Amino acid sequence: MRRILVAGSLLALAGCAAAAPGNAPAAAQARPIEPALAEATFDTAWSIIHRTFWDTTFNGVDWQATRDELRPQARAARTDAELRVIIQGMLDRLRMSHLVVIPGDAAEALASDRAGPAEHPGSAGVELRWADDALLVTRVMAGSAAEAAGVRPGWIVESAGEMTEARLREALSRLPASSDPRRYASFASQAMESAFEGAVGDTVRARFRDGQDRRTDVSIVLREPQGRMATFGNLPPILARVETERVPAGDGREVGVIRFPIWLPVVSGDLDRAVDALRGTAGIVVDMRGNPGGVSAMASGFAGHFVNRRDTLGTMITRRDVIHFVINPRRVSPDARPVVPFAGPVAVLVDERTASTSEFFAGGMQALGRARVFGVQSAGQALPSLMPRLPNGDVLLHAVADFVGPDGEKWEGAGVVPDAVTPPARAALLAGRDPAMESAVTWIRSQAGAAAPR
Amino acid sequence: MKVRTNLVRTLVLAGAASALAAAPARAQELPAARDIVNAYVNAIGGAEALGRAQHRHMVGEVSMPAAGMTMTMEIWQARPNKMTMVMTIPSLGEMKSGYDGEVAWSSNPMSGAQILDGAELEQALRQSDFDANLRFEHLFPTMETVERTEMAGRPCYRVRMVATNGDEAFGCFDVETKLLLTMSSRMESQMGVIESTQEFQEYKDFGGVKMPSRTLMNVAGQQMVMTVKEMDTNPIPDATFALPAEIRALKQ
């Protein structure tokens, strides 16, 4: 559950990721709580939503009646965990993303599911996606523990540690029947990915079906993951990094690829340097697959590397204010050289785990005509949010605004729809191919000589 | 973040504001805005004390409870209108802005470097004016006393102030202490019209001038608390106001 908890806690000044349904409350350890504190915590959570939820109809929910109904239950809660279930139940009634109660002691919560000490997190270095009713290995990071153990893209995961396919399906069956299929897919892959994490030196015993569909048991000794642990505000420590690579365009040129797992300010400089290093390429692919969001103010700042005139990536609408996410062209390099924003074609890759700030970026760039989007429909969890602490120390991730694209597009619920739908396919992965990336590169190649973007 | 940056600048200057020249008060029973502002200037130390300093250096802190963040803030100012501000945010870095007498600028790790123009330039010019407190009539040509009301549990006179660019603010001045209690404003920015409110608390003496050492702010729905830790009027080297390298590059 560690990944899911982390995803659930990703927020920002305005923007962030949302969690799979029903995750956070169940994952934390139970600690006794006094009735008065339970009541104060519940009241505070209710009041924050009452005061800040931008939709004053509360999506059709009688918010006052909700309080009256659930408050006695909150007072009767004997543990933090019981209280979280009640508060989360209250939040779920609003049927919007970015409404999650996160256990206050993140380290304790994360440790509740076999995670190692936060100072020495270990990872297998695999990415998984739910496709064709199976969990596919979609990526094995270079130099990772999984690569060293011989795991390959396209393999199907049957179990990892105590997480078996049967256990996973049982967990999936407990999700609300109305859950979006994207939530199922996201929940499944994140839950299994979390079984490939722990402390450096831990061994994860996993069973796969390889390229020939043979059952293969593999022991993976977890390694320190690439990147650095970073925090921002009330967020728990999260792994942040920026990956840059050049891939052949197929016509003698190269295409640049930028990939990062979360929008955290600590990587702002790395992103600037990544774009700067790829200025001479035929085009840039921004791979947002699996990126659940982060600090939303970064999205318009990053977009400024690709847009040569002041524009708007989207607009945040709170109860009181209408705030535009303004793109200012980035006309100076990290080492203080005058530059022009990257003018070549830009492709953005998305999938069902692309959420929040990543949707602001992908959808906004698409709407502006500055990027073409490849992959599968994104999460549709695109609301700016904040995360204050509650009296019991838990953190309330709560949406504070609606968000619309440059032309009024709404991605909450719907998600960003790719211009070219390119889901992961096992055969392609086994052949060492990445369909979404290939489509993006092919498109970039086709844009040679095209008119400069706006 | 720019909104907050601008607001903080506004607040710092609002705290030291003085000598507002007012249009005649409409309501006979209310004191004229000019009198209210003059009383405020006297209450915080008087025009002479405010006009004595050539430099101003402030160190403070801004916390945002809803985001779990606390940032440090440092502002340098010199007559007539130079200013540099640096806000340091953990895990983010330095958000900087300033005016060197010719160019108003901002630079931060998330959105990069920028030379300000339009409404933001006007705002920066207003906020960089070392003597903004003594030239308020120039900055806010329209002022009027609107009502006697209560703010922060205190009786106060509410004064409406309109800047040359149309930015509107309402200040509420304590009837008894004459100090500024609250300020609400609407500011034009690239991001749209931003509404903010500030409540000034715990006035303290900083070198003969009273300033609020604690300010509660609500900017675009976000609660913030600004605390002034230190303030002095010692000489500041001119290099402090020089344009950063990234802004110089933008000018090329």
Phi, psi of A221 (to 5 degrees): -90, 115
Q: Which of B73-87, B103-117, B161-175 has the lowest mean pLDDT?
A: B161-175
ipTM of the predicted structure?
0.80
Mean pLDDT of chain A: 87
Mean pLDDT, residues A148-160 taken together: 97
Q: Residue A286: enclosing H or E segment and its boundaries?
A: strand A283-287
Mean pLDDT, residues B67-82 taken together: 92
Asked if B190 and A321 come within 8 Å (Cβ–Cβ), the reply is no
| pLDDT over threshold 50, residue A18 | no
Structural tokens at position A454: 């706006």
Least Cα separation, residue B116 to chain A (angstroms): 11
Mean pLDDT, residues B223-252 taken together: 95
- Conformational region of residue B112, where left means phi above 0, alpha means psi within -120 to 50, and beta covers everything else: left
Residues 6+ apart with CB under 8 A from A170: none
> Measured between alpha carbons, how far is A52 from A384 in angstroms, rounded to an integer?
12
**Where residue A178 falls among pLDDT bands split at 50, 70, 90?**
low
For residue A27, the SS3 value is helix
Neighbours of B189 (CB within 10 A): 19
Structural tokens at position A283: 């085009």
pLDDT of A176 reads 66
pLDDT of B133 reads 67
> Measured between alpha carbons, how far is A122 from B173 in angstroms, rounded to an integer?
58
Which residue in the set A301, A315, A323 is minimally distant from B110, CB to CB? A301
pLDDT of B230 reads 93
Orientation of helix A80-92 relative to helix A35-52, angle to 10°: 20
Structural tokens at position A292: 């659940």
**Where residue B189 falls among pLDDT bands split at 50, 70, 90?**
confident
Least Cα separation, residue A211 to chain B (angstroms): 43
Asked if B191 and A326 come within 8 Å (Cβ–Cβ), the reply is yes
Which residue in the set B1, B111, B246 is minimally distant from A328, CB to CB? B111
Q: Are B219 and B3 in contact (CB under 8 A)?
A: yes
B72 touches chain A (CB under 8 A): no
pLDDT of A147 reads 97
B155 touches chain A (CB under 8 A): no
Residue numbers in B near A294 (CB within 8 A): none
Residue of A188, A15, A199 lying closest to A107 (CA atoms) = A199
Residue of B213, B178, B188, B183 lying closest to B198 (CA atoms) = B183
Bridge-based pairing state of the strands A420-421 and A372-375: parallel
A319 touches chain B (CB under 8 A): yes
Mean pLDDT, residues B37-64 taken together: 91
> Measured between alpha carbons, how far is A236 from A231 in angstroms, rounded to an integer?
6
Which residue in the set B64, B114, B221 is minimally distant from A321, CB to CB? B221
Residue of B117, B76, B68 lying closest to B96 (CA atoms) = B76
pLDDT of B237 reads 97
Mean pLDDT, residues A15-44 taken together: 66
| pLDDT over threshold 60, residue A140 | yes
| pLDDT over threshold 60, residue B3 | no
Neighbours of B124 (CB within 10 A): 24
Q: Residue B12: enclosing H or E segment and its boundaries?
A: helix B2-15
Share of chain B above pLDDT 70, in %: 87
Q: Write the single-letter amino acid at A395.
A: V
> Measured between alpha carbons, how far is A166 from A158 in angstroms, rounded to an integer?
9
Residue numbers in A near B248 (CB within 8 A): 336
Asked if A387 and B68 come within 8 Å (Cβ–Cβ), the reply is yes
**pLDDT tens, residue by residue, A124-134:** 999 999 988 89
Residues 36-65, chain B, touching A (beta carbon < 8 A):
64-65
Neighbours of A410 (CB within 10 A): 14
pLDDT of B187 reads 77
Residue numbers in A near B91 (CB within 8 A): 230-232, 264-266
> Measured between alpha carbons, how far is A35 from A37 in angstroms, rounded to an integer?
5
Greatest mean pLDDT among B19-23, B96-100, B194-198: B96-100
Residue numbers in A near B217 (CB within 8 A): none
Residue numbers in B near A326 (CB within 8 A): 190-191
Q: Which 8-state DSSP code applies to residue A294?
A: B
Q: Write the single-letter amino acid at A29.
A: Q
Mean pLDDT, residues B205-233 taken together: 90
Global pTM?
Answer: 0.85
Mean pLDDT, residues B57-71 taken together: 89
Q: Are B140 and B163 in contact (CB under 8 A)?
A: yes
> Measured between alpha carbons, how far is B96 from B206 in angstroms, rounded to an integer?
24
pLDDT of B28 reads 52
Residues 6+ apart with CB under 8 A from A83: A33, A38, A41, A42, A74, A77, A392
A95 touches chain B (CB under 8 A): no
* Helix segments in A53-177, DSSP class H: 63-76, 80-92, 106-111, 145-148, 165-173
**Where residue A451 falls among pLDDT bands split at 50, 70, 90?**
low
Extended strands (E) in chain B:
55-64, 69-78, 82-89, 93-99, 104-108, 112-115, 142-151, 154-162, 168-174, 180-189, 192-206, 209-219, 222-232
A45 touches chain B (CB under 8 A): no
User: Which residue in B has a C-alpha nearest to residue A267's C-alpha?
Assistant: B92
Structural tokens at position B211: 């300033």
Share of chain B above pLDDT 90, in %: 54
List the strands of the sheet with A385-386, edge to edge. A99-102, A395-399, A385-386
Q: Are A336 and A420 in contact (CB under 8 A)?
A: no
Asked if A321 and B93 come within 8 Å (Cβ–Cβ), the reply is no
Least Cα separation, residue B92 to chain A (angstroms): 5
Q: Write the single-letter amino acid at B140.
A: F
Residues 6+ apart with CB under 8 A from A382: A97, A355, A356, A359, A360, A363, A403, A410, A411, A412, A415
pLDDT of A105 reads 64
> Measured between alpha carbons, how far is B134 from B13 in angstroms, rounded to an integer?
11
pLDDT of A384 reads 87
> Measured between alpha carbons, how far is B36 from B166 in angstroms, rounded to an integer?
22
Q: Which of A16-30, A42-56, A397-411 has the lowest mean pLDDT?
A: A16-30
pLDDT of A13 reads 29
Q: Are A448 and A442 in contact (CB under 8 A)?
A: no
Q: Which 8-state DSSP code applies to residue A32?
A: B
C-alpha dist (Å) from residue A329 to A197, A315, A333, A346, A415: 39, 18, 11, 15, 26
pLDDT of A29 reads 55
| pLDDT over threshold 70, residue A256 | yes
A169 touches chain B (CB under 8 A): no
Q: Write the single-letter amino acid at B224.
A: M
**pLDDT tens, residue by residue, A404-433:** 999 999 999 999 999 999 999 999 999 999
Residue numbers in A near B64 (CB within 8 A): 13, 233
Residue of A39, A112, A26 lying closest to A72 (CA atoms) = A39
Least Cα separation, residue B37 to chain A (angstroms): 29
Least Cα separation, residue B45 to chain A (angstroms): 36
**pLDDT tens, residue by residue, A161-175:** 999 988 888 887 777
Mean pLDDT, residues A420-447 taken together: 96
Q: Are B159 and B40 in contact (CB under 8 A)?
A: no
Bridge-based pairing state of the strands A197-199 and A121-123: antiparallel
Q: Residue A40: enclosing H or E segment and its boundaries?
A: helix A35-52
Farthest-apart Cα atoms in chain B, separation = 57
B216 touches chain A (CB under 8 A): no
